[in-house]
Chain A
Amino acid sequence: MEVQEEVKSSLLISDKHHPFVYLKIQLTFENGEEDVNELTPVQFKFLVMQAIKETLGEIGASTPVDILKLWDEGLAILRVPSIEAEKIWAALTLYSTTATQKKCAFRVLQASAFLLALSVNSRDLR
């Protein structure tokens, strides 16, 4: 294997205001009652919106929340405006039962202003 002669690394520190916060979230159901792998993005979005509506009401639900990616096991990346991020995170935390009376929980695994930061989780490094 060839070793590269020059490896440049740079650190960028930014103090700008960032418009969005990206949240990596996981939806879990109690005792695996529902198969999270079978959730469509539309259903997932519906659950997220329901969670926000339950705690923050219609005005809270009017904030633009986007699902950028949905993987297996209920993993997803949300993009929320940074001003509203705290409230929306709290609303997701406080969500516990779906409309069909199934117990579930949104777990926020990571939160960052940069989408790239979600590619690795320092908490998993051992």
Chain B
Amino acid sequence: MALPAYCDFNIKCQTPEKLFDLIEVATELGYESVIVNNNLQSLQGSKEKKKDQKIKITPPSEILLNEKSIASLQSKGKKIQQLSRITAVLQDDSNTHKLGNADLQMYDILAVQPTSSKTFQLACETLEVDIICLDLTETIGFVLKRQLLSLAASRGIHFEIQYGPALTNSTVKRQVISNALNLVAATCQKNILISSGAENPIDLRSPYDVINLGRLFGLNHSQAKDAVCKNCRAVLMHAKSRKTCKSVVLVKNISTLESKKRWLLKAYSDELSNSDEDSLKEGEEEDEPEAKKIKLASKDNK
């Protein structure tokens, strides 16, 4: 387990000079990784506009700082790591297949912002994303069902609270706090991230301030700390596992194996008895179809 590394999950993408200032302030405040966010207003795009849309999705290498400036930050003796993230606003439940597009998958972290109960349900139940962020500056407009949220939590999806908008004016502040309390209560204080959404360096707050702010959102101290440390790490790991190839491993007791498939077991034990490395490899290869078959069989049983 790595040391606690504070992480800010949402820094707005902008010109390199401004971004450099932002990241510099973030390192001074004690953050060790920052995530630059690219907001995508809509996944839609009719066929004529397709070319426009392709221009819209800028590759992550363009929104991040180049290595030289990061190295200059690191030379001051502080660790800093930058990652890219894209947030897609889900207007309706069509077009979600575009989340699988290569230009979106190039980003390190994939987030969605559902706008209706339908898209929210879709995001919680099926979409392969890392973060669900809701617009907390306005009334959410649908009920946050505990079952849906716990389902999303069990799939490793995290929910984001942005405190940046709360710094603007008092009505927005009120709205953000009440929505955040709502969200935290609905998720049972689990899988919460607190991020800044900062555009200017002055909008950033130090991790310790953010942890204390988490207390205001109904988290206890350790949960609030997790919201800037542990959960961030979990999201990064989730993103990594999402990017590796999809695989299934099924463990089953030998005694429950169907009589038809007994030959697999016998073949495997024969392979093992010729304790060569080559035979081991073959055994592994054989194992995979077996697992698949068993998976299929279990599906049939259901």
Query: Is there an interface contact between A94 and B213, defined as CB atoms closer than 8 Å?
Result: yes
Q: Give the A-B contact count at a CB cut-off of 8 A.
A: 49
Extra inter-chain contacts (10) besides given A86-B212, A93-B209, CB under 8 Å: A30-B200, A30-B202, A55-B173, A86-B215, A93-B205, A94-B167, A103-B202, A105-B203, A105-B204, A108-B212
Instruction: Contacts A55-B173, A96-B167 given; indicate if A105 touches B205 (C-beta within 8 A).
Output: yes
Which of A54, A104, A107, A111 is within 8 Å of B205, CB to CB?
A107
- A117 interface residue per 8 A CB criterion: no
B-side interface size class? 20 to 34
- A90 interface residue per 8 A CB criterion: yes
The chain B residue with its CB closest to the CB of A89 is B212
Contacts of B203 in A (CB 8 A): 96, 105
Query: Is there an interface contact between B206 and A94, defined as CB atoms closer than 8 Å?
Result: no
Contacts of A17 in B (CB 8 A): none
Q: How many A residues touch B, CB cutoff 8 Å?
A: 20
- A126 interface residue per 8 A CB criterion: yes
The chain B residue with its CB closest to the CB of A88 is B212
Query: Is there an interface contact between A105 and B215, defined as CB atoms closer than 8 Å?
Result: no
Q: How far is the CA of A54 from the CA of B168 in the complex (A)?
A: 12
Contacts of B212 in A (CB 8 A): 86, 89-90, 93, 108
Query: Is there an interface contact between B77 and A108, defined as CB atoms closer than 8 Å?
Result: no
Contacts of A54 in B (CB 8 A): 170
Interface string of A54-85 (1 = CB under 8 A from B): 11000000000000000000000000000000
The chain A residue with its CB closest to the CB of B217 is A90
- A16 interface residue per 8 A CB criterion: no
Contacts of A108 in B (CB 8 A): 206, 208-209, 212
- B99 interface residue per 8 A CB criterion: no
Q: How far is the CB of A104 from chain B (nearest CB, A)?
A: 7
